[in-house]
Amino acid sequence: MTNCAGCHGLDGNGGERGPDIVSRSTVRQLPDSRLLQILQQGVANTAMLAFGHLDDKVLASLVEYVRKLQGEGSPIPRVGNSRRGKEMFFGKGGCSECHMVHGKGGSFASDLSRYSLARTPRAVHDAIVFPNRDLDPAAGL
């Protein structure tokens, strides 16, 4: 929170001064060694400062934390049957009555085409299994 959240936000999804380090593919594809190097040396000509004053153990734990935010180590595996998922979404699950994916389905609720790109597998799972968990009670829903 002290070193990163001011720029990247508490959840790592970006802030006013720093980019999204959770779902941004260019960050997700970096090896841990490169993330560590960025933390140690910063990034030239950007607002990304060097944190080389932090000890190696702290820097390694920051890399591990970023990976957890990105969904690594999630107890829900990133596997599934896309054909069956599509059948459920557009069939008896009834999701497509309100939601749209890639231009197909309803337009009453949010378009889910890119939904999983900015969320961990656990967050996607929980949104499906517990769809009303995060509804705002003040909104009268």
Ordered domains of the chain (ranges, CATH)? 5-69 (1.10.760.10), 82-133 (no CATH)
In the predicted structure, residue 140 carries a pLDDT above the cut 50:
no
pTM of this prediction?
0.53
| Contacts for 18 with CB less than 8 Å, ≥ 6 apart | 4, 6, 7, 8, 9, 47, 48
DSSP 101: E
Residues 64-113 have pLDDT tens digits of: 999 888 877 655 455 678 889 899 999 999 999 999 999 999 988 888 88
Residue-wise pLDDT for 5-62, tens only, equals 899 988 888 888 899 998 888 888 889 999 999 999 999 999 999 999 999 999 999 9
Residue 19 and residue 8 in contact, taking contact as beta carbons nearer than 8 Å: yes
- Residue 64 to residue 135: CA distance in whole angstroms: 30
